[in-house]
Amino acid sequence: MAANNYFQVVNFAGQAITVVVNGITVSVPGDGTAKALNKLNETGDTVTFNIEVTQGPYTGTLAPTTCAVGSGDNSWTHMVVTTNGYVNLFAGPEGRPRGIHIE
């Protein structure tokens, strides 16, 4: 069971984006930069993310998304925002990618 879950937003949307993850707002420039969020409060094998994209080529609120995290003391989840409105979640070292689309 993971003790700490960290979250990183990677921007491939082609322009600056602002994303709200579980109430934490992160703004990422439009140059493919990654920006880490502070540790989220959730612990355990799965984490539910509430994601809203408030600035970018596609904006909207995604349905709550549960993602498995890797085992160990610290698990990172990467969220990649793309130009076609897809948000891909890559969870922990053992996680599998999961794509969700902003409608």
- The string of pLDDT tens digits covering residues 11-70 is 887 888 888 877 778 888 877 777 776 555 555 566 677 778 888 888 888 777 777 665
Model confidence, pTM: 0.67
Between CA 46 and CA 103 the distance in angstroms is 24
Q: Is the pLDDT of residue 103 over 50?
A: no
Residues 6+ apart with CB under 8 A from 88: 79, 80, 82, 97, 98, 99, 100
Between CA 83 and CA 68 the distance in angstroms is 25
Between CA 57 and CA 45 the distance in angstroms is 32
Domain boundaries, the chain: 4-101
Residue pair 27/95 in contact by the 8 Å Cβ criterion: no
Class of domain 4-101: mainly beta
pLDDT at 74: 63
